[in-house]
Structure 1
């Protein structure tokens, strides 16, 4: 099983620079940033990038401290899809493009994807690493410096899954 921790960072919610990151428990990682967004967008971007960066048959377990991202990807999505991408109250699903991209990524991935919630900022070294990487990426975006991105420093190409959503 591949185990990956994800996290997102938003420097000013909403509207500040956001960063996302995943940290594979084998040591590999990736991160990236967008100029403006919300903490929820950052968390969803981290989950999406973790899934698309780990294709194949091997089971993938995503550990995240965002119950919102986990529930979007594993629980609420089923009802939203049945209701034409509307909530139980009939309003449009927030962050729809990201939720649908995550749904597609899970559906298209041959191996199963599962989620585990971990309490943030409680010493889990992989959660802490993902948090650190997401924060670095968000601050770099805000400051106009080089944003580290892609698996272990390999840049995310224009046209990547996340790039096409923004």
Structure 2
């Protein structure tokens, strides 16, 4: 099973620069951001990126400290889809494009995807790394806004948005020597910056 921690960051919620990040517990990580958004957008964006970056048949477990993101992906999404992308009260689904991209990414992935909520800021190693990377991505976008673009959506069969321009930090805990580090399959990427 692949386990990935995700997180989102917003420097000024709503409307400030946002950052997203995912960290594979066996090695790689990615992050990126946009000039403006909300914390909820950043959290959902991180989920999409994590799912698309892990396309294989091996089961994928995504951990997030965002109950909103977890519930969107695992509880609310099926009902919204059945109701023509409307909420239980008949209103519009917030962050619909990202929710639909999560649905598409889950549907197109060959293996199952599960989600688990974890408490944030209590020393969970991988959650703390994802939090740090998301914050760094948001700050990087805020300092160079001319290089950033908002979420462009996956669209039908498009690839994920690449990591932020800054190099990713080394993995916090290396894999045991006997176990190879699992790398996502290379895919063509869209440009974020």
Give the TM-score normalised by structure 2: 0.77
Structure 2 regions of 5+ residues with no counterpart?
A: 149-162, 169-185
Cα distance in 2 for partners of 1:125, 1:149 equals 21
Partner of 1:126: 126
Cα distance in 1 for partners of 2:44, 2:120 equals 16
Are residues 1:87 and 2:87 paired? yes
Structure 1 residue ranges (4+ consecutive) displaced by more than 6 angstroms after TM superposition: none
Larger gyration radius, structure 1 or structure 2: 2
Cα distance in 1 for partners of 2:104, 2:74 equals 12
Matches within 5 A, 1:46-57: 46-57=46-57
Matches within 5 A, 1:116-155: 116-144=116-144, 149=164, 153=168
Partner of 1:102: 102
Structure 1 regions of 5+ residues with no counterpart?
A: none
Secondary structure at the aligned position of 1:72 is classed as helix
Are residues 1:111 and 2:81 paired? no
Cα distance in 2 for partners of 1:66, 1:17 equals 18
Cα distance in 2 for partners of 1:108, 1:27 equals 23
Cα distance in 2 for partners of 1:59, 1:137 equals 28
Are residues 1:22 and 2:37 paired? no
> Residues 79-122 of structure 1, C-alpha deviation per residue, up to 9 Å, x if partnerless?
10111100011110000000000001001101000011100000
Secondary structure at the aligned position of 1:32 is classed as strand
Are residues 1:158 and 2:193 paired? no
Cα distance in 2 for partners of 1:57, 1:149 equals 27
Matches within 5 A, 1:21-40: 21-40=21-40
> Residues 47-90 of structure 1, C-alpha deviation per residue, up to 9 Å, x if partnerless?
00000000010000000000100110111001101111000111
Cα distance in 2 for partners of 1:158, 1:47 equals 17
Secondary structure at the aligned position of 2:85 is classed as coil
Cα distance in 2 for partners of 1:141, 1:56 equals 31
CA displacement at 1:143 relative to structure 2:
1.0
Give the TM-score normalised by structure 1: 0.89
Quick check: which one's helix share is greater?
1
Secondary structure at the aligned position of 2:89 is classed as coil
Secondary structure at the aligned position of 2:16 is classed as coil
